[in-house]
């Protein structure tokens, strides 16, 4: 049986005590007061993680999350036994991608810079904190119609063939867990029947045939303990519970918002004021209302990112040259949505090796500069300038039609001094990073062995 590891939830008692002490020993400076008022004006509380159990209507279930953890790392869910959720959502990078554009099936079993294989169309998004997202994926193709990922009353909207059929499931990420094993380029492979129902049936048949997994499922599901079968609903709930356990929102900014004024450096505080003010980042990387303090408006925008095109790919790109990604248009069919992508939530972005839908920028500084002057950044861009992988460094997709649709929010360049730019970068890199998202902590979640007996993926920490 795979080793069992306890997963920690929420801020520790020591951290809470430190916050209480800080309230007595710290006197607010004018900078502290300005930032406190700014956060209040943006309805940022730093307490979103503490609302998880209330939003779920129950406490987290550690045994179910641990089952999901093992499934996350196990290639039993991939019909060709060559990938797992963790192959693209890696603990080496805060459960996000290690690549500019994801490598799914037909990989070399490495997860990290050395991963090779045919690429997909987009970068894999991070899944830390994903339970609070009202829509999922880079083109927003999985949507909570209520705007609340914990409210399934109006239903979930998925692309065909699922449509609204998964709306009976309790949370959006439980429904989303139905899709990765059915994606041929991600996990299913191309030697199987692409019918989603057939693929899911094969996945659960494998689990039911595995005594170790049956024992693990029986702990959380009484019907399995009574001899009944594992079904896909159970698998989805286990995967989702593991993702709920990866709610990490105890960054320096959160601690500051809760009254620990010393949690942030002066540089980070000034960067935060720029983020919420002159740099205008918060206009898209929002924190209030349905954004759930996740630093995204969860809307789709054209931001002028150059389109990288893999030399070897498992998917068909858009456009007459098969070298474009139409983004939201692929979902809606509306040409007005062409090149639109969801604003990425940027908590823990400092752990990412690449940015934007195709990972065209590999340094946080360059990604932020692009936001400040998208036209200048895009027109000067070369893959070599970002040290992009060789198989992504060939001819790019056309840039002119992308810039012609640039969101008006990015049309006017924003000028910052060198000092201000450094402050803004420091805030995004460190000020909204929860230390629990660092590789040194997440490596503890990698199982020593897998219930299926599959050869584990090799992680390049």
- For the stretch 335-371, pLDDT in tens is 999 999 999 999 999 999 999 999 999 999 999 999 9
Task: Compute the average pLDDT of residues 391-398.
Answer: 98
Tokens of 280: 């205008």
Positive or negative torsion for Cα 220, 222, 223, 225: positive
Q: What percent of the chain has pLDDT over 70?
A: 94
Task: Compute the average pLDDT of residues 300-329.
Answer: 98
Task: Compute the average pLDDT of residues 426-446.
Answer: 98
Residues 6+ apart with CB under 8 A from 94: 126, 128, 348, 351, 352, 437, 438, 442
| Confidence (pTM) | 0.93
Judge whether residue 15 has pLDDT over 60. no
111: enclosing H helix or E strand: strand 110-111
Cβ burial of 417 (10 Å; 0-12, 13-18, 19+) is: exposed
Higher pLDDT, 15 or 318: 318
Judge whether residue 241 has pLDDT over 70. yes
Judge whether residue 6 has pLDDT over 80. no
Give CA 413 to chain center in angstroms.
28
Judge whether residue 140 has pLDDT over 90. yes
Say how far apart CA 325 and CA 346 lie, in whole Å: 22
Task: Compute the average pLDDT of residues 375-395.
Answer: 97
For 45-80, what is each residue's pLDDT tens digit? 999 999 999 999 999 999 999 999 999 999 999 999
Determine if the peptide bond prior to 362 is cis (ω within 30°).
no
For 23-51, what is each residue's pLDDT tens digit? 444 689 999 999 999 999 999 999 999 99
pLDDT value for 14: 47
Judge whether residue 206 has pLDDT over 70. yes
Judge whether residue 7 has pLDDT over 50. no
Is 69 in a helix, a strand, or coil?
helix
Say how far apart CA 37 and CA 31 lie, in whole Å: 10
* 447 and 242 Cβ atoms separated by less than 8 Å: no
Could you give the strand order of the β-sheet that contains 142-144, starting from the edge strand earlier in sequence? 135-136, 142-144, 156-157
For 439-452, what is each residue's pLDDT tens digit? 999 999 999 999 99
Judge whether residue 11 has pLDDT over 60. no
Judge whether residue 8 has pLDDT over 50. no
Classify residue 131 by its DSSP letter.
G
What domains appear along the chain, each with residue ranges and CATH number? 13-49+249-436 (1.10.760.10), 62-247 (1.10.760.10)
CB atoms within 10 A of CB 28: 12
Residue whose C-alpha is closest to residue 38's, from 199, 274, 351: 274
pLDDT value for 283: 98
Average pLDDT, the chain: 95
pLDDT value for 26: 62
């Amino acid at each position: 049986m795979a080793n069992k590891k306890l997963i920690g939830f929420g801020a520790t008692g020591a951290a809470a005590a430190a916050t209480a002490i800080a309230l007595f020993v710290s006197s607010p400076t004018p900078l502290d007061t300005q930032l406190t008022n700014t956060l209040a004006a943006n309805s940022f509380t730093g307490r979103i993680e503490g609302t998880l159990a209330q939003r779920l209507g129950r406490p987290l279930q550690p045994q179910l999350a641990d089952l999901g953890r093992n499934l996350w790392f196990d290639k039993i869910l991939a019909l060709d036994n060559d990938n797992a959720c963790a192959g693209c959502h890696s603990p080496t990078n805060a459960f996000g991608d290690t690549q500019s554009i994801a490598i799914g099936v037909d990989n070399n079993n490495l997860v990290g810079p050395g991963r090779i294989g045919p690429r997909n169309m987009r970068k894999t998004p991070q899944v830390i904190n994903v339970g609070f997202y009202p829509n999922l994926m880079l083109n927003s193709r999985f949507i909570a119609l209520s705007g609340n990922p914990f409210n399934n009353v109006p239903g979930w909207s998925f692309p065909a063939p699922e449509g609204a059929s998964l709306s009976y499931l309790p949370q959006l990420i439980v429904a989303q867990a139905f899709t990765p094993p059915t994606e041929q380029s991600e996990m299913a492979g191309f030697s199987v029947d692409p019918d989603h129902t057939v693929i899911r049936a094969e996945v659960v048949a494998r689990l039911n045939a595995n005594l170790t997994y049956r024992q693990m499922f029986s702990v959380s599901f009484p019907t399995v303990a009574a001899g009944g079968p594992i079904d896909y609903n159970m698998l989805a709930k286990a995967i989702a519970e593991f993702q709920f356990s990866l709610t990490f929102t105890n960054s320096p900014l959160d601690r500051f918002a809760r009254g620990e004024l010393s949690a942030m450096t002066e540089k980070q505080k000034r960067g935060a004021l720029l983020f919420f003010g002159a740099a205008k980042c918060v206009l898209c990387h929002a924190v209030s209302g349905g954004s759930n303090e996740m630093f995204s408006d969860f809307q789709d925008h054209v931001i002028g990112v150059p389109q990288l095109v893999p030399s070897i790919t498992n998917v068909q790109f858009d456009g007459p040259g098969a070298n474009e990604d139409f983004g939201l248009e692929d979902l809606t069919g509306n040409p007005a949505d062409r090149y639109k992508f969801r604003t990425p939530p940027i908590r823990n972005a400092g752990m990412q090796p690449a940015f934007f839908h195709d990972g065209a920028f590999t340094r946080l500084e360059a990604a932020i500069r692009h936001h400040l002057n998208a036209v200048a950044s895009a027109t000067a861009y070369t893959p070599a300038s970002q040290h992009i992988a060789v198989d992504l460094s060939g001819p790019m997709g056309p840039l002119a039609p992308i810039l012609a649709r640039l969101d008006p929010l990015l049309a006017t360049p924003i000028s910052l001094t060198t000092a201000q730019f450094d402050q803004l970068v420091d805030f995004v890199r460190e000020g909204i990073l929860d230390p629990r998202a660092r590789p040194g902590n997440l490596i503890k979640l990698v199982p020593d062995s897998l219930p299926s007996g599959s050869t584990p993926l090799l992680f390049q920490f």
